[in-house]
Structure 1
């Protein structure tokens, strides 16, 4: 008898893990912010100019890094998206959104009560209804570079949590 794939994966191992990193162009812009910091300090001399380059560049890189550190994980029967942790048993069926549909759910179809882990530079997304009646959040909107894999991971965990 062959062991199943689910039996070989520990329960604490993530079934899905994605980091929504910032695009490369943002890092280039952070470098330009560093250069502009140096140019601002240039009239004060060489040492202040170098300090301006280092300080402005470091602050810009920290901002880009923190914005691009958002993670989406499906682990141990829960969906962890940014700071939110929701049990999969409290979620409905995931809906994969293409670029046009994702844009619509970010704009005119959006509900202000929804939890959105949204990154404008990521075209695809997944929308999952929250079925817990005690939770006022109607749905989760999660930007994802691979929305089909995220939806499959959520659907794959569902029978384990509801059994």
Structure 2
């Protein structure tokens, strides 16, 4: 999935880890329940103001939490706010849900860099080959771990 990015850069993979629709629905229902409780108990415009503020906070929170991006572009892996040159990467493994749960839990290394989202059950484990970096690996959630692993592997093969 290689495509030209801004200014002629090559984007080998790009994904936004947005929250699922059900989180938006559940959050909206929570705010609606708040509105119902307030409109019965408090007269006037106050319930509408409080509900509007709660809805704005919900939207800001879900948008912010779901704004993390995973991108492989011009030989660099971006995961959330962090980035690393792909020349420093070692073995790349696409993990299924069970493997992800184990690597993020029982088999976890406290020094690992994690970009995990609870609503994404699969991930990619990327070992680092940088002697100056104490981080043994990155564990990155993905909706398409096979594609992300393939994009990273393609850069390693060059």
The farther-off stretch of 140-149 and 37-46 is 37-46
RMSD: 1.8
Q: Partner of 1:92: helix, strand, or coil? A: strand
Aligned to 1:88: 86
Aligned to 2:23: 26
Unaligned segments of structure 1, at least 5 residues? 1-5
Q: TM-score, normalised by structure 2?
A: 0.90
Q: Distance in 1 between matches of 2:85 and 2:14?
A: 16
Return the offset for 1:83.
Answer: 0.5
Q: Distance in 1 between matches of 2:10 and 2:37?
A: 49
Unaligned segments of structure 2, at least 5 residues? none
Q: Is the 8 A contact 1:34 1:52 kept in 2?
A: no
Query: Is residue 130 of structure 2 the alignment partner of residue 138 of structure 1?
Result: no
Q: TM-score, normalised by structure 1?
A: 0.87
> What is the aligned residue count?
154
Q: Partner of 1:14: helix, strand, or coil? A: strand
Match of 2:151 among 136, 153, 156: 153
Q: Distance in 1 between matches of 2:4 and 2:118?
A: 33
Q: Distance in 1 between matches of 2:121 and 2:150?
A: 18
Return the offset for 1:9.
Answer: 5.2
Q: Deviations over 1:68-87 (max 9, x none)?
A: 11110000100000011100
Q: Distance in 2 between matches of 1:142 and 1:104?
A: 14
Query: Is residue 10 of structure 2 the alignment partner of residue 13 of structure 1?
Result: yes
Return the offset for 1:52.
Answer: 1.4
